[in-house]
Chain A
Amino acid sequence: MSVARASTATPPAIPINTPVLRRILVAFIRNEVRKVGVERVVLGLSGGVDSSLAAFLAAEALGPANVLGIRMPYRTSSPESLAHAELVAQATGIAIATIEITPQIDAYFERFPDATPLRRGNKMARERMTILYDHSASERALVLGTSNKTELLLGYGTLHGDMASALNPLGDLYKTQVWALSAAVGVPAPIVEKQPSADLWQGQTDEHELGFEYREVDRLLYLMVDERYEDEDLTAAGFALEFVARVRGMVQRSQFKRRLPVIAKVSARTIDRDFRYARDWGC
Chain B
Amino acid sequence: MATTFTVGVAQIDCRLGDVEANLAEYERQLREAKGRGVDLLLFPELSLTGYFLKDMVATVALAPGSPALRRLRELSRETIAFVAGAVEETPEFRFYNAAMFFDGGELRHVHHKVYLPTYGLFDELRYLARGDRIGAFESRFGRSAMLLCEDLWHPSTAYIAAMDRALTLLVPSSSPIWGLERGEVPENAAYWQRVNAVTAEAYGMYLVYANRVGFEDGVGFWGGSEILGPSGEILARARYYEADMIVAEVNLGAVRRKRIAAPMLRDENLDLTINELTRIRGREPAGVVKAPPVEKPPVRKVAPPRTPLRTTRAKTAKPRKTVRRR
Which A residues are closer than 8 A to B by beta carbons? 15-17, 20-21, 23-24, 27-28, 31-32, 35, 167, 275-281, 283
Q: Are B217 and A280 in contact (CB under 8 A)?
A: yes
A–B complex contacts, Cβ < 8 Å, 18 sampled: A15-B179, A16-B180, A17-B180, A20-B180, A20-B184, A24-B220, A27-B220, A31-B215, A32-B215, A32-B218, A277-B54, A277-B55, A278-B52, A279-B217, A280-B16, A280-B216, A281-B17, A283-B16
Q: Are B54 and A28 in contact (CB under 8 A)?
A: no
A167 to B220, CA, bound (A): 14
The 3 A-B residue pairs with the shortest CB-CB distance, nearest first, are A276-B54, A278-B52, A31-B215
**Can you name the residue of chain B whose Cβ is closest to the Cβ of A275?**
B55
Q: Is B183 an interface residue (CB 8 A)?
A: yes
Q: Are B181 and A24 in contact (CB under 8 A)?
A: no
List B contacts of A31 (CB < 8 A). 13, 214-215, 220
Q: Are A27 and B52 in contact (CB under 8 A)?
A: no
A51 to B186, CA, bound (A): 26
**Can you name the residue of chain A whose Cβ is closest to the Cβ of B126?**
A276
A185 to B220, CA, bound (A): 21
**Can you name the residue of chain A whose Cβ is closest to the Cβ of B184?**
A20
List A contacts of B218 (CB < 8 A). 28, 32, 167
Q: Are B16 and A21 in contact (CB under 8 A)?
A: no
A61 CB to closest chain B CB, in angstroms? 12
Residue among B181, B217, B241 with the most chain A CB within 10 A? B217
Q: Are B183 and A17 in contact (CB under 8 A)?
A: yes
Chain B count of residues within 8 A CB distance of the other chain: 26
Q: Is B15 an interface residue (CB 8 A)?
A: yes
A74 to B183, CA, bound (A): 44
List A contacts of B17 (CB < 8 A). 281
A85 to B17, CA, bound (A): 40
Given A27-B241, A278-B52, A283-B16; 14 other pairs, CB 8 A cutoff: A15-B180, A20-B180, A20-B185, A24-B241, A27-B215, A28-B215, A28-B218, A28-B220, A278-B217, A280-B16, A280-B50, A281-B16, A281-B56, A283-B15
List B contacts of A20 (CB < 8 A). 180, 184-186
Q: Are A15 and B217 in contact (CB under 8 A)?
A: no
A31 to B179, CA, bound (A): 20
List B contacts of A277 (CB < 8 A). 54-56
**Can you name the residue of chain B whose Cβ is closest to the Cβ of A30?**
B215
Q: Is B2 an interface residue (CB 8 A)?
A: no
Q: Is B107 an interface residue (CB 8 A)?
A: no
Q: Is B177 an interface residue (CB 8 A)?
A: yes
List A contacts of B53 (CB < 8 A). 278
List B contacts of A280 (CB < 8 A). 16, 50, 52, 216-217
A127 to B183, CA, bound (A): 42
Of residues 211 through 263 on chain B, the ones whose CB sits less than 8 Å from some CB of chain A are: 214-218, 220, 241
Q: Is B318 an interface residue (CB 8 A)?
A: no
A20 to B183, CA, bound (A): 8
Q: Are B216 and A278 in contact (CB under 8 A)?
A: yes
A143 CB to closest chain B CB, in angstroms? 15
A276 to B127, CA, bound (A): 10
A24 to B241, CA, bound (A): 8
A21 to B56, CA, bound (A): 31
A21 to B182, CA, bound (A): 10
